[in-house]
Amino acid sequence: MKPELFIGMLSGTSIDAVDCVLASFDNKIPTVHDFRSFAIPQHVKNLLSQLIRNESLDLKTLGSTDILVGKLFADSALSMMKAHNLTPEDIIAIGSHGQTIWHQPVADENESRFTIQIGDPNTIAHHTGVTTVADFRRHDMAAGGQGAPLAPAFHQAVLGSTSIPRIVLNLGGIANITVLSPGSGSPFGYDTGPANTLLDQWIRLSNAKEFDDNGSWALSGTPNTELLELLLNEPYFLLLHPKSTGRELFNLSWLQTKLEKLTGVCKPEDVQATLLELSILTISKQIKAHLLQGEILVCGGGIHNQALMTGLRNQLPDFRILSTQQYGLNPDCVEAVAFAWFSKQTMQGLPIDFTPFTGASKPVIAGGIYRV
Ligand SMILES: Nc1ncnc2c1ncn2[C@@H]1O[C@H](COP(=O)(O)OP(=O)(O)OP(=O)(O)O)[C@@H](O)[C@H]1O
Ligand SMILES: [Mg+2]
């Protein structure tokens, strides 16, 4: 029998690429038939960065970038289909996360809580000819949830039943953990804070590089204790879960306010070294708060940063730190597969239980369906 095929797509906090998978879900561990990353053209990256920085925002830029990203996602899905000689009828649905441009899971009384992902699903459905499921976060938010992180529900479904205490650690722009420990209550998960995003943003500003390959620039510097303390003072790190965050908080202006408070000088490479230390310490501290030993399954682009991984191993010597690949899931596409799976659930009319991860009041049907 031919497998039921789904496409999952996402562009994460890092705006590094459109990740696209072709997957099917006939077994507990999904089958990834193909995974491709499609480059985001520089002018689209610039527009997205402008929107995300909330600078000179106008509705025309927002509206037209929504369509541009929709076309980019549609082209990515079409390339995937062409590479496998697939027609629209061969794909049950596309699950498109889109690109987050603002995520505000908490708000004071004068504002509303909201999250915005762009990449018009009508455009994707029309150009690909494939039913598209999108807007995955806002139903959860309407139900009182944070709308993020969502991937833990997928981690639980595919990596959940285990006889060993296990944490899934996603090292994207932001780091999130999913705690799946047997016998000690229900799973839960949340965003711990930055993984790569500050490292990326600082090296872009200072050296015009997209990312710090293997953390080698960070390793050329020395962490600055005073700066590290200022960074660790961020109230987000002390909040109880459920909690989620993004570049709305962890950005260069946040870093700048801390740098301004420094009494001494700090070389750019020392800032990078301190940011690396910040990611390592905040992630490992949260892990140790829940488990003393067990297995950590890592996914997300940060797994390729040797310095980050070595730092985590040093802080977490009692854990077996492995790639999700160990269980048949390529660490670079776990999130994209998650959105393919969410689209399958939605097409079947099945709610997804994000409640342990987002704090929503009940499981929800995630996303809207855009039929051709
Ligand atoms: N060789 C490498 N050395 C250092 N960092 C790397 C390397 N390869 C990838 N990365 C980091 O991984 C990041 C991309 O990771 P990923 O795609 O998981 O993040 P994302 O798209 O922001 O996802 P999320 O939505 O989960 O935050 C890059 O921006 C970079 O910082
Ligand atoms: Mg990415």
| 305 and 183 within one domain | yes
What separation in angstroms does the CA of 152 have from each of 47, 61, 103, 225, 339?
30, 33, 18, 33, 11
Q: What is the reported pLDDT for 184? A: 62
Q: What is the largest CA-CA distance in the chain?
A: 67
The residue ranges of DSSP E strands in 131-280, in sequence order, are: 132-134, 166-171, 174-180, 188-194
Q: Could you tell me if the CB of 196 is within 6 A of ligand 1?
A: yes
Other CB atoms within a 10 A radius of the CB of residue 84 amount to 12
What does the alpha-carbon distance between residue 72 and residue 49 come to, in Å, rounded to a whole number? 16
Do residues 283 and 312 make contact, with C-beta atoms less than 8 angstroms apart? yes
Closest-CA residue, ligand 1 atom 13, reads 301
| 211 and 275 within one domain | yes
By residue range, what is the domain housing residue 84?
Answer: 5-147+334-370
| 179 and 108 within one domain | no
What does the alpha-carbon distance between residue 21 and residue 33 come to, in Å, rounded to a whole number? 7
Q: Which of 196, 207, 298 to mutate for ligand 1's pocket (most ligand atoms within 8 Å of CB)? A: 196
| 11 and 68 within one domain | yes
| 348 and 290 within one domain | no
* DSSP label of 308: H
Ligand 1 atom nearest residue 171's Cα: 18
| 141 and 64 within one domain | yes
Instruction: Please give the chain's pLDDT, 372 residues, in tens.
Output: 789 999 999 999 889 899 999 999 998 899 999 999 999 999 999 999 999 988 767 899 999 999 999 999 999 999 999 999 999 999 999 999 999 999 999 999 999 999 999 999 999 999 999 999 999 999 999 999 999 999 999 999 999 977 889 999 999 999 999 999 876 678 999 999 999 999 999 999 999 999 999 999 999 999 999 999 999 999 999 999 999 999 999 999 999 999 999 999 999 999 999 999 999 999 999 999 999 999 999 999 999 999 999 999 999 999 999 999 999 999 999 999 999 999 999 999 999 999 999 999 999 999 999 999
| 321 and 358 within one domain | no
